[in-house]
Amino acid sequence: MAYETIRFERRDDGIAILTLNRPQRLNAINRIVLTEIDAALDEIERDDAIRVFLITGAPRADGRPCFSAGFDLKSVSEGILPEKGLGQRVTDRLDDLLKPSIAVVDGVCSTGGGELAMAADLRVVGAKLELSDWHLQNLGTGLGEWGAATRWARLAGAQKAKEVMLTGRVLGAAEAVSCGWAVAQHPSERLLDAALEMARAIAGMNPKGVRMTLLHLDRTEDMTREQSLRWSLELPKIVGVKTAIEEKADAVLGRIKER
C-alpha cells in the first residue's frame, strides 16, 4: 500500500519500521495519519515475517529530531475532520497487538504524540527529548481521548501523571526514564541503532513465546495475584506453547517408545 503521511519499511531481519512523516507539521497526527497507521498495523498483524516493529518520527527539515507534536488542529480548518473514536481505536489496537512494538522517541513528543508512544510496548528516548502533555493547557480537558491520563498513570504513577498534566511541564530524557515512562535513553545520533539492537533481540525469540508473554503481561495488572497465576498456567494451552519441562518429557517418552 502507498502511504501519504507515514513511511512503512519491512526489513529482512524480522523488524518493521513505521515512521510518522509530516516533518513540516512536526509529524502532527490527523485523520489521514491515523487511518494509515491502522492500515500499517493490518500489514504487521498479517505478516508472520515481522516479529517486532518500531514507531518513530521523521526529523524536522533542519535535522532536529521530532516524534510528534500531537493532534493537528490545523487540519480541521483544512477540512480534514477527525473521525469519532478513530484515535482511541488505533491506540488501543496498538496497545493490544500481540507483536512487540518499540516507540523510538526524540525531540518534541506532546499530547497525542505521547498517547501514541505510550500505546507501544516499550519506549526508548533520545537525549533531545521534549516530552509533555498539554491536553489540559491547550484544550481545557486533562484526560485525553486516546488514553493519555490512563497510560500516564500506569507508566509513571498517579503523582507524576498529575504533575505533568496539571502543570504542562516539559520532561527531558533522563526524567522520562527515571519516572518509568521510557526504559532507556541514548544519544540522539545513536537512538535508532540502539532501538534496532533491542528489536533484534526480541525478533530472535520464539514468536509463540513472545505472544504468550505479551498476553500475560498486558493483562496481569488488572488481575489479583491468584488470577494472574492461574492465567499464566492456562496461557500455554491457549497459545499452543509447550513448556520446557513438557518438551523434555516428550523427548524422553519418544526415546522410550523407540526402544
Any idea where the domains of the chain sit in the sequence?
A: 6-203, 207-258
pLDDT for the residue 249: 43
CATH number for 6-203: choose from 3.10.110.10, 3.90.226.10, 3.40.50.620, 3.40.50.300: 3.90.226.10
pLDDT confidence of residue 252? 44
Q: Which of 151, 137, 141, 200 is nearest to 179 (CA)?
A: 151
User: pLDDT truncated to tens, each residue of the chain (259 aa)?
Assistant: 789 999 999 999 999 999 999 999 999 999 999 999 999 999 999 999 999 999 999 999 999 999 999 999 888 888 888 888 999 999 999 999 999 999 999 999 999 999 999 999 999 999 999 999 999 998 888 789 999 999 999 999 999 999 999 999 999 999 999 999 999 999 999 999 999 999 999 999 999 999 999 988 988 888 888 888 888 888 888 777 776 555 544 544 455 556 5
The whole model's pTM is what?
0.91
- pLDDT confidence of residue 245: 52
Identify the pLDDT of residue 96.
Answer: 96
